[in-house]
Amino acid sequence: MRFLALLLSLSLTSPAFAMEGDLTLPDGAFFGALYNRLICDSFDEVGVNTPSALKTHDVQIEKLLADRMLIQFLVAANFKQDDSTCRYSMVLTRARNNALVKTDSKAFAIDGTSDCIQGKEELDKLFSGRLPYTYTKNPIRFISLKITTPTASEVCGEGADHFRVVFERVRNNTPTQPQ
């Protein structure tokens, strides 16, 4: 088990962990977490199905990175558009009251000929505004981003206006970021 954890930790610090063309954090990545599940509210939840806001382009959220001071965060995902698999990354900056605000985003085709603009615009809209976040303490194991969307009621019940994307920490104390 320790070998698996070490192998995973090393793979996240290697250049292969960042796709060529992903946005990067100016001060490098210190905290890394991989996508774990979608929930409605509680970290105790097993997880919920994917709402149509993410199904439309078969969005596969991959990871969350943060700088040493937990001021800037990077989220990366893949999605489908036309004949292409597209890569999406966005930089979020910490605002007041445990919220993050998107400050930059980028999308490009990993394969195929799509310009990936439609999917990028839909993801930009989904991740717009203030994104409240929560995390488990002592130690930080999970962090979640609250996504407000009308399609949340599909998986979280009538009247629900949000779901949460949960990431699970996989490394720490690695001040370098893959380039």
Residue in the structure block whose two tokens are 């000929």? 113
Q: What is the pLDDT of residues 42-77, one digit of tens each?
A: 888 888 999 999 999 999 999 999 999 999 999 999
CA dihedral 26, 27, 31, 35 (to 10 degrees): 0
Distance CA 154, CA 162 (A): 10
Highest mean pLDDT among 2-16, 17-31, 105-119: 105-119
12-36 pLDDT per residue, tens: 443 334 456 899 999 999 999 999 9
Q: What is the mean pLDDT of residues 100-114?
A: 96
The dotted CATH code for 22-171 is: 2.40.128
6 has a pLDDT exceeding 50: no
Model confidence at 95, pLDDT cuts 50, 70, 90, reads very high
pLDDT at 42: 86
Cα Rg of the chain (Å, integer): 16
Sequence ranges of the domains in the chain? 22-171
Query: Which has the higher per-residue pLDDT, 139 or 167?
Result: 167
Residues 6+ apart with CB under 8 A from 22: 74, 76, 87, 89, 106
Mean pLDDT of 104-125: 96
Q: Six-digit token pair at 57? A: 């382009």
Q: What is the pTM of this model?
A: 0.82
Structure tokens belonging to residue 70: 């937990």
Contact by Cβ (8 Å): 94, 74: no
pLDDT for residue 172 is more than 70 = no
